[in-house]
Amino acid sequence: MLIDYLPVLIYMLIAVGLVGVIVLLSELLGKKRHTPAKDMPYECGMDPIGDARHRYTVRFYVIAMFFVVFDIEAIFLYPWAVIFKSLGWFGFVEMLVFIGILVVGLVYVWGKGALEWE
């Protein structure tokens, strides 16, 4: 069972090593000459003003929250999808109810105006 995934792990380890070597090689090959201006964050040639990590709009949080809800829902649906043919009408109706609840949620969020960016 789990041994089936061992090759994936092996493959991943080799890949990590390889990418590491590529980065390390270019680190060694390239020249290094520091100047104060070069080490500054790029901001169209001017000295950077303040820190880059500002507070950002709360809408990103809202989108992230919706994503978690709908993504988990998609994860629940995948096992259903793969055995759908052998489930019969009961499986269909059951998922219809599940998706129906989510669609009600989407309609509610839509109506509340949470999907508007303005």
Partner 1 sequence: MEQLTQFSATELARMIAGLIGVIALVSVNALFLIWMERKVAAHMQLRPGPMEVGPHGAIQTIADAVKLLGKELITPEEVDRPIYLLAPIVVFLPVLLCFLVVPFSQSLIIRDMNVGIVLILAFSTLTVLAILMGGWASNNKYAVFGAFRSVAQNIAYEIPLLLTVMSIILMVGSFRLTDIVAAQSRYWYIFVQPLAFILYIICATAETNRTPFDLPEAESELVAGFHTEYSGMRFALFFLAEYTNMFIVSAVGAVLFLGGWRGPILPGIFWFLIKVYALIFLIMWFRWTFPRVRFDQLITFAWKILIPLAFANLLITALVLKL
Integer angstrom CA distances of residue 37 from 31, 50, 56, 66: 17, 16, 28, 42
Considering only the C-alpha atoms of the chain, give the largest distance between any 2 of them, rounded to a whole number of Å. Answer: 70
Q: What single-letter amino acid sits at 86?
A: S
76 binds partner 1 (CB under 8 A): no
Among 1, 45, 47, 54, binds partner 1 (CB under 8 A): 54
- In the list 16, 94, 101, 104, the residue contacting partner 1 (rule: CB under 8 A) is 16
Burial class (CB in 10 A: 0-12, 13-18, 19+), 80: middle
For the four alpha carbons of 55, 58, 63 and 64, in that order, the dihedral sign comes to positive
72 binds partner 1 (CB under 8 A): no
Quick check: 39 binds partner 1 (CB under 8 A)?
Answer: yes
**19 near partner 1, judged by CB under 8 A:** yes
Q: Which residues bind partner 1 (CB under 8 A)?
A: 3-4, 6-8, 10-12, 14-16, 18-20, 22-23, 25-27, 29-33, 38-44, 48, 51-54, 56, 60, 63-64, 66-67, 70-71, 74, 77-78, 81-85, 89, 92, 95-96, 99, 103, 106, 110, 115-118
